[in-house]
Amino acid sequence: MAKVAVYPGSFDPMTLGHLDILTRASKLFDRVIMAVAQQSSGKRPLFTIEERLRLIRDNVTHLPNVSVEAFSGLTVAFAQSHQASVIIRGLRAVSDFEYEFKMYQMNMHLNPEIETVFMMAGPEYHFLSSSMVKEVALLGGDVTGLVPPSIGESLAKTSSQMLSTPQKDT
């Protein structure tokens, strides 16, 4: 039977760190579904779900066994409904560990049939996060080498639109 894995996350936006994990996972499993969370608790996305899906799809066309889908609700439920038996998560610095360990235990509790596989971030991506990339882009910094070029362009465009739109005082 084909081994299907789900790689869940907000991917707001996808960085080269995410792409590195995805590429390596695509060599380990028959199929990998990148599951893009529509909403993530406590996070207000910069890119809409449609934008995030498009930006990812445009950059994974060279990976034939990878598909990209939006999801909401429990990751284990999404995995089960797609006949996936594995959840992939990337680990960067030690600071990721506690949160990921809690998440792993909860997912195990919810569905013991679905295994979580942790993959270590490539050394050049250990300190790379979507939030850091967004912050740099919003401050006008260069994100070359951190995200695929088309995502860098979208970040620059979205950031300059945000800067030119007067923000309401709260």
The residues that are catalytic are 18, 43, 92, 130
In the complex, least distance from residue 160 CB atom to ligand ADP, rounded to whole angstroms: 23
Closest Cα partner for 107 from 136, 74, 63? 74
Which residue in the set 17, 45, 148, 152 belongs to the binding site for ligand ADP (CB under 6 A)? Answer: 17
Name the residue with tokens 């609700």: 73
Q: Could you tell me the CA-to-CA distances from 28 to 19, 22, 24, 86, 145 in Å, in that order?
A: 15, 10, 7, 11, 25
CA distance 115 to 153: 36
Exposed/middle/buried for residue 134 (C-beta within 10 Å: 0-12, 13-18, 19+):
buried
In the complex, least distance from residue 53 CB atom to ligand ADP, rounded to whole angstroms: 13
Which residue in the set 23, 58, 92, 104 belongs to the binding site for ligand ADP (CB under 6 A)? Answer: 92
- 47 part of the interface to ligand ADP, by CB under 6 A: no
Exposed/middle/buried for residue 55 (C-beta within 10 Å: 0-12, 13-18, 19+):
buried
- 52 part of the interface to ligand ADP, by CB under 6 A: no
- 115 part of the interface to ligand ADP, by CB under 6 A: no
- 130 part of the interface to ligand ADP, by CB under 6 A: yes
- 125 part of the interface to ligand ADP, by CB under 6 A: yes
In the complex, least distance from residue 31 CB atom to ligand ADP, rounded to whole angstroms: 18
Classified as helix, coil or strand, 66 is strand
Nearer to ligand ADP, 39 or 150 (CB): 39
Check: CB of residue 47 under 8 Å from CB of residue 133.
no
CA distance 106 to 124: 30
- 21 part of the interface to ligand ADP, by CB under 6 A: yes
- 71 part of the interface to ligand ADP, by CB under 6 A: no
- 26 part of the interface to ligand ADP, by CB under 6 A: no
Q: Which residues bind ligand ADP (CB under 6 A)?
A: 9-11, 15, 17-18, 21, 40, 89-90, 92, 96, 121, 125, 128-130
